[in-house]
Amino acid sequence: MNVLKPRLVYVLVAISFLGAPARSQEKLDLETITRIRYEGFRDSKVMELASGLMDSIGGRLTGSPNMKKANEWTRDQLTAMGLSNAHLESWGPFGRGWANQYVNVRMTAPDVAPLIAYAEAWTPGTNGVVQSKCIRVNIEDKKDFDKYKGKLAGMILIFGPDAEVKPITEAPFKRLSDDDLAKIGEYQIPSERPPFRFADFLKRQQFVKELNQFLADEKVLAVIDHGRGTSGGGTVFVQSGGSYKQGETTTIPKITVASEHWTRIARLLQQKKDVTLEVNATNTFYDDDATQYDTIAEIPGTDRKDEIVMLGAHLDSWHAGTGATDNGAGTIVMMEAVRILKALDIKPRRTVRIGLWSGEEQGLLGSQHYVEQHFGSRPPMDDPLMKGMPTLLRREAGPVSVKPEQAKVSAYFNVDNGTGKIRGVYLQENEAVAPVFEAWMKPFKDLGMTTLTMRNTGGTDHLSFDAVGIPGFQFIQDPIEYETRTHHSNMDVYDRLQPDDLKQAAVIVASFVYDAAMADRPLPRKPIEKPLPKEPEKKNEE
């Protein structure tokens, strides 16, 4: 195997060694790492776990019956592995549960043709078969409402901007090259990053609520849109069509169809031809219990058992596939990592705790609630859209108040970038950790793990820990088909998993967790980010 050696990464690490000489000589237990490698590569259970989660349970939308099944299954599996105190830790209230039981869409005129179709989460069903003519609609802001007012009653909307379907000219399967890793190794100054404006996000949420109300007032029969992306080939990217919050549910059935099928209808309508669709969707809302759960379990420590090393991944997924690469892969890697440690009867100095989070896809809700309960929090926010929501990641909410348990957590490790093998670690601007991780990853350079970067990476649960000053890290992974085929799509299924990559990842995670649990000192910390000034309130546009 070609061992990658991006020059920029080694420059970064060399600087880090100069800045932290006291940690430059990390002790490595190569005998135990050899045992971890042998167990993880020769007696892996990772694909057995994958089939149990993805095939037997399936998609795991937060609030759905399958999510609860997954919580209970992971708890029972971790207990069977020999972990202690395996339990479900509650958080909430979340809102409404939802699941789809049936969906069928077909064109009945000018041709008869079945369509590849999926119901959008948190939208109602059709109450049986409905059939109607279609009308093309594209509404991008409230100013577009007047254009369609009084014209949509009883119609099926072919909704959204034009879908662009391109030929597949590149292989959707990708591994990171030397150049890719070198670019990742270059630090990104904060001002160079695309800004994320939470106020814009909330404004978009408000517009979606107003749009759903407009469609309900116009007595629309159903909405048919297309998923993101241009990959085609029957890959459909499907998420939500309405809010999961009580009292905010849309009353209009919404369905996403394959782009190639959507564009056929759009072309016919552009040619002024009548198109009729038949739609039948059965969806169920669950309002009996607004509480959700994270799965937690431990390997008890010995002489430093009050200190903790954590590893985790989000257990929830979207519903069109079985949540294999997002994030069943991370879940089973973390489960396999702790299984390896238990199978080798390792007695860690620090307690090892695994957390499998729900509500990640709705805003890192499960991990945020867990961190707020145990480690620290920010003040609540007055914004109505933030009612009942965690504020840990909203720096404008105010300063972080830490709890005593926060000081006991040495590190949190996360996997949530698909099925690809681990190639390095995002250091989250914690330069003092670089020489430590350089030593820890040295035994895995033959497996392609070579890169440390000071960059931040976002969008997943390590941010909840990072926000309260706990060293939280996401691993760099080969993308494989994550963005091109599987991320939030109907193709996110068991068959897209890469078994050897998952074995490699589990071995590396188990070793990093072991190193952190056995180290003489906890990992060095960086400062907690300062609060931001509150953004000025903007009046809703009429």
* Helices marked H in 186-243: 198-217
- Residue 233 clears pLDDT 90, i.e. is over it: no
* Residue 352 half-sphere exposure toward CB, CA atoms < 13 A: 30
**What residue type is assigned to position 11 of the chain?**
V
Question: What does the pLDDT look like over 481-540, one tens digit per residue?
Answer: 999 999 999 999 999 999 999 999 999 999 999 999 999 999 999 999 999 887 665 554
Q: Which pair of structure tokens corresponds to residue 181?
A: 């890793």
pLDDT at 230: 54
Over residues 442-486, the pLDDT tens digits come to 999 999 999 999 999 989 999 999 999 999 999 999 999 999 999
Would you call 303 helix, strand, or coil by DSSP? Answer: coil
pLDDT of residue 56 exceeding 80, the answer is: yes
- Is the per-residue pLDDT at 88 higher than 90? yes
Closest CA to 441 of 455, 423, 415: 423
Question: Can you give the pLDDT at residue 171?
Answer: 65
- Kindly give, in sequence order, each residue whose CB lies less than 8 Å from that of residue 192, ignoring residues fewer than 6 positions away: none
Q: What is the mean pLDDT of the chain?
A: 92
pLDDT score of 189: 86
Element (H, E) at 342: helix 329-343
Report the relative pairing of strands 254-257 and 222-226 from DSSP bridges. parallel
The phi and psi torsions of 532 (rounded to 5 degrees) equal -100, 155
Instruction: For 155-208, write each residue's pLDDT tens digit.
Output: 999 999 999 887 776 667 899 999 999 999 999 888 776 666 667 777 888 899
For position 19, what pLDDT does the model report? 40
Distance CA 339, CA 32 (A): 15
Does the pLDDT at position 9 exceed 60?
no
The C-alpha atoms of residue 27 and residue 97 are separated, in whole angstroms, by 48
Assigned architecture for domain 45-94+291-422+458-518: 3-Layer(aba) Sandwich (3.40)
∠ Cα 466 60 251 (to 5°): 105
Level-2 CATH architecture, domain 97-286? 3-Layer(bba) Sandwich (3.50)
Amino acid at 242: G
Q: How far apart are CA 54 and CA 92, in angstroms?
A: 25
Instruction: Provide the pLDDT for residue 5.
Output: 34
pLDDT confidence of residue 394:
93
What pLDDT, on the 0 to 100 scale, is given for residue 534? 72
**pLDDT digits over 202-231, tens only?**
788 889 999 999 999 999 999 999 987 655
* Model confidence pLDDT, tens digit, residues 360-401: 999 999 999 999 999 999 999 988 878 889 999 999 999 999
Give the per-residue pLDDT at 347.
98
End-to-end, the C-alpha distance of the chain in Å comes to: 61
Split at pLDDT 50, 70, 90, the class of 13 is: very low
Question: pLDDT, tens digit, for every residue of 324-339?
Answer: 999 999 999 999 999 9
Report the C-alpha gap between 290 and 92 in whole angstroms. Answer: 7
Start and end residues for every CATH 3.50.30.30 domain found in the chain: 97-286
Q: Where in the chain is the domain with CATH 3.40.630.10?
A: 45-94+291-422+458-518
* H/E stretch holding 159: strand 156-159
Closest CA to 412 of 472, 458, 456: 472
Which tops the pLDDT comparison, 28 or 1?
28
Q: Model confidence over 421-442: pLDDT tens digits?
A: 999 999 999 999 999 999 999 9
Region for residue 197 given its phi and psi (left: phi exceeds 0; alpha: psi -120 to 50; beta: otherwise): beta
Which structure tokens are listed for 503? Answer: 């074995």
Distance CA 157, CA 528 (A): 48
- 475 and 422 Cβ atoms separated by less than 8 Å: yes
Band (pLDDT 50/70/90 cuts) for residue 306 is very high
- Token representation of residue 372: 């707020």
Q: Give the pTM.
A: 0.93
Res. 16: pLDDT tops 70:
no
The rounded percent of the chain whose pLDDT value lies above 70 is 91
Give the integer Cα–Cα distance in Å for 214 and 231: 32
Write out pLDDT tens, residues 90-134.
999 999 999 999 999 999 999 999 999 999 999 999 999 999 999
Residue type, 481: E
Q: Please classify residue 300 by burial: count the beta carbons closer than 10 Å to its beta carbon, then call 0-12 exposed, 13-18 middle and 19+ buried.
A: middle
